[in-house]
Structure 1
Amino acid sequence: MDLIPKPGQVVSAAGNVAHLVLGGGVADLRPMPRTLVEEGPLREVHHYRPAAGVRQQGDPVLLVTPLAAPARCYDLRRGCSLVEHLVAAGRPTYLVEYGEVDVRDRELGMEPWVDEVVPRAIEAVSAHAGGRPVHLVGWSLGGILALLTAADRTDLPIASVSVVGSPTDVSQVPLVAPPRPLLDPTEGRDLVARGFQVAGAVPGVRWAVRLPSFQRLVAKPLAVAAHLDDSEFLAQVEAVDRFTAAMAAYSGRAFGQLYHRFVTGNALVGGSMELSGRTITLSSITAPVLVLAGTTDGIAPVAAVKAVVQHLAGARDVRFEIVPGGHLGMLTGRAARTATWPVLDEWFEEWTSSEPVAKAAAKKKQAKKAAARKKAPDATPRKAAGKRAPAARTAPSPKAIGANPKRRYGSGGSRSLSP
């Protein structure tokens, strides 16, 4: 509001205060309706119901939930919900979440999510969507799980992988970089790791989501008072507060692995990671990969997120984009509606297949047989065909991701990284 509020601002502020005090809030926190389509140990796969009058089409999207973060990160509130946006656009949308973790899960590490939970969810979504390949979208640690799964299981029906605010070089994270030299990088034998193990379940790091720009904006009563006439601002504050209050817990062993491998060991800085007695290498990923970083993300700064690009040499296409927002805001903040979500829409359209995986595989098999028949010796000699001249490489379309000069946050660092 202005220092001397205008009459309209006073009326709006009075209405918002009434909603906050008497109506329970200004945000529409109703979750998008969904149906459970598959479940198993540590996983529930949900399908979001199609919007009325909207026909679902294209390859499905599977939202991969981070450990300890509630699934509402993708469905924060009506008007700022990635789920709502995808459903309204007719995109088949699914979610995998993991349930509560408590002291009984103290021995649970990261292995189940990469070995079973995410792969089974991908297979279930593909089957439910008629055999089509799946677009994976992972925010924060969910993006790391998506990358490790795609690298470990190249046989899965994956159409593309999108990682949002997922740091792979923690030395570039200001919150972590200073204490790293002081920590013992031994594999789970220092006092911190033992503490995690004894605790069994470690409360989710709620403070991290509130850092640092959002903390300045939300936590101070003066900021709220200054925006009493802005129902959108107040609704976002309310939704984020509910989100952080619902942060779950990591199992003791899983948090210990995260602490040692990612914080002290910086495990993925070299592009590979040891898990379940095998080495998972990110260069094994063959699916197209989209990497998104937030301009004001203090948890996963641009440099920490961009570091993964150099390790994706095997991917069919790799693109990097910088979008406005902090760690949560870049995914589901008010600016995400005109920045992050259009980038994802363009990416899905570019890599949506024209047919289910089974049909595509059958056609590929038939094509191989036809090619083998053509190679068979023929009684009639044929004239050798001349070599074709290589096709000239054309400049990227102005509509291509990372090449749009009108996109506010486009830059040389966010152009297509393909040669």
Structure 2
Amino acid sequence: MAMTPLRIPRDLGAARTNLIDKVRRRPLADLRPMPRDEVVSNERFTLYRYRPAEGVPARGRPLFLTPPLAAPAIAFDLRRGCSVAEFFVNQGREVYLVDYGPVNFGHRALGIEHWVDDLLPEALAYASVDAQGADLHMAGWSLGGIFTMFTAAARQDLPIASATAVASPFDLREVPLLALARPVDKVLGGLVGPVYRSLGGVPAPLTKWGFQLSAADKYLTKPISMLTHADDRDFLAQLEAVDRFMSSMYAYPGRTFGQLYHVVMRTNEFATGTMRLNDRDVRLADIDVPVLVVAGLNDTLAPLPAVEHLLDLTTGAPTAQLLQAPGGHLGVLTGRAAIRTTWPGMEGFFTKHD
């Protein structure tokens, strides 16, 4: 099998400048956050509204962004020129972001029901009031997309115009990495519960390691990629922004991790479309708003079959569609190609259901 030839930097002057800046630790990425205002802040979350873009007329319903746990909310504002929030603000939309902040030992008793039944409905209500009573397009990434769907299913009275899940795996039997982990679980599974309960959750370094494991090939070849793309400042800026994102990982609260571990390793409960929360069944078939499912074509953590299974579960939605886009687990949300693929696809869906 022939090896793909390595890319040779064409602009040696640009390569020299970029590498000198890297060695001298000069920033290549514009990591300034998009301007935003705090709508409300309490001990559970902070809700932000991004400021409108100057000269862009307001249009459409507002967008409500839902992050996962462990990964920081900066996933939605990675860097200037490659920011989910920036793109949709420039479309003229009001954009809201809920930020849970870091997890500590005091959060150890919080389970999935905390986000689905309490936190997200409260944050949505605040956002709707701030937006003069408008319904909002709710979009979540990874576990945030799972939270989005179960929130829409649990509460049909919430001001939700549509529900979008980006890179959110619902059939976990279709995730190859988890198939490799299950034999280990059979041997060591009995130790997991006592360990995470004693720690109050999963420490941030372990969540970072798990995310890196899902893209191990990229981390192993990163030095080579940096050299072969040394003349591509935007490529290097993206690596820099992703490094900042990875260094900002949070811990997982104990009870939530326990629930997810049970679902991932034992029951595959998400794939049934029904989850037991607060002593009642929450069914994804009860979602009554339009649904968009976004899948990354290179996502090993949430591959296409695991993600598109959501379409089979949202049978009560007036419409449910799949958007496939290039990128891995983070890349499909905010990779360099997202401005031409994922985001316009999402905007087209939102516009259709404004």
TM-score w.r.t. the length of structure 1 is 0.79
Residue of structure 2 equivalent to 1:294: 296
Residue of structure 1 equivalent to 2:119: 117
- Give the counterpart letter for 2:120 in structure 1: V
Question: SS where residue 247 of structure 1 aligns?
Answer: coil
Q: Tell me, in whole angstroms, the C-alpha distance in 1 between the residues paired with 2:234 and 2:9.
A: 18
Aligned-pair distance for 1:322?
1.2
**Aligned: 1:52 with 2:54:** yes
Q: Percent identity?
A: 45
Residue of structure 2 equivalent to 1:203: 203
Residue of structure 1 equivalent to 2:282: 280
Aligned-pair distance for 1:242?
0.7
Cα offsets for 1:269-304 (capped at 9, x unmatched): 111001111110000000100001111100000000
Aligned-pair distance for 1:238?
0.5
Deviates most, 113-122 or 52-61: 52-61
Deviates most, 256-265 or 209-218: 209-218
Once the two structures are superposed, the pairs formed by residues 347-362 of structure 1 within 5 Å of their partners are 347-352=349-354
Residue of structure 1 equivalent to 2:104: 102
- Give the counterpart letter for 1:317 in structure 2: T
Aligned-pair distance for 1:78?
0.7
Gaps of 5+ in 1: 353-419
- Residues 19 and 230, structure 2, Cα contact 8 Å, conserved in 1: yes
The equivalent position to 1:169 in structure 2, one of 165, 171, 181, is 171
Going from structure 1 to structure 2, the CA distance change for 1:241 and 1:5 (only over 3 Å counts) comes to closer
- Give the counterpart letter for 1:119 in structure 2: P
Gaps of 5+ in 2: none
Runs (4 or more) in structure 1 with deviation over 6 Å come to 1-4
Aligned-pair distance for 1:219?
4.7
Going from structure 1 to structure 2, the CA distance change for 1:288 and 1:256 (only over 3 Å counts) comes to same
Once the two structures are superposed, the pairs formed by residues 167-246 of structure 1 within 5 Å of their partners are 167-180=169-182, 183=185, 190-204=190-204, 205-211=207-213, 215-216=217-218, 219-246=221-248
TM-score w.r.t. the length of structure 2 is 0.93
Aligned-pair distance for 1:201?
3.0
User: Alignment RMSD, CA only?
Assistant: 2.0
**Aligned: 1:322 with 2:324:** yes
Once the two structures are superposed, the pairs formed by residues 117-136 of structure 1 within 5 Å of their partners are 117-136=119-138
Q: Tell me, in whole angstroms, the C-alpha distance in 2 between the residues paired with 1:313 and 1:127.
A: 30
Residue of structure 1 equivalent to 2:76: 74
Residue of structure 2 equivalent to 1:397: none
Going from structure 1 to structure 2, the CA distance change for 1:213 and 1:194 (only over 3 Å counts) comes to closer
Once the two structures are superposed, the pairs formed by residues 373-392 of structure 1 within 5 Å of their partners are none
* Bigger share in helix: 2
Which structure would you say has the larger RCO, counting Cα contacts within 8 Å and 6 or more residues apart? 2
The equivalent position to 1:87 in structure 2, one of 86, 89, 113, is 89
- Residues 171 and 271, structure 2, Cα contact 8 Å, conserved in 1: yes
Aligned-pair distance for 1:217?
6.2
- Residues 16 and 231, structure 1, Cα contact 8 Å, conserved in 2: yes
Q: Tell me, in whole angstroms, the C-alpha distance in 2 between the residues paired with 1:225 and 1:277.
A: 55
- Residues 178 and 264, structure 2, Cα contact 8 Å, conserved in 1: no
Aligned-pair distance for 1:207?
3.1
Q: Tell me, in whole angstroms, the C-alpha distance in 2 between the residues paired with 1:260 and 1:37.
A: 36
Larger Rg computed on CA atoms: 1
Going from structure 1 to structure 2, the CA distance change for 1:303 and 1:200 (only over 3 Å counts) comes to same
- Give the counterpart letter for 2:176 in structure 1: P
Aligned-pair distance for 1:243?
0.4
- Residues 283 and 313, structure 1, Cα contact 8 Å, conserved in 2: yes
Residue of structure 2 equivalent to 1:413: none
The equivalent position to 1:22 in structure 2, one of 6, 21, 24, is 24
Question: SS where residue 77 of structure 2 aligns?
Answer: coil
- Give the counterpart letter for 1:33 in structure 2: P
Q: Tell me, in whole angstroms, the C-alpha distance in 2 between the residues paired with 1:171 and 1:181.
A: 13
Going from structure 1 to structure 2, the CA distance change for 1:10 and 1:75 (only over 3 Å counts) comes to same
Q: Tell me, in whole angstroms, the C-alpha distance in 1 between the residues paired with 2:8 and 2:327.
A: 30
- Residues 119 and 149, structure 1, Cα contact 8 Å, conserved in 2: yes
Cα offsets for 1:238-287 (capped at 9, x unmatched): 11111011010111221111111233221111110011111100000001
Q: Tell me, in whole angstroms, the C-alpha distance in 1 between the residues paired with 2:133 and 2:276.
A: 31
- Give the counterpart letter for 1:293 in structure 2: A
Going from structure 1 to structure 2, the CA distance change for 1:148 and 1:212 (only over 3 Å counts) comes to closer
Q: Tell me, in whole angstroms, the C-alpha distance in 2 between the residues paired with 1:180 and 1:236.
A: 34
- Residues 52 and 89, structure 2, Cα contact 8 Å, conserved in 1: yes
- Give the counterpart letter for 2:325 in structure 1: V
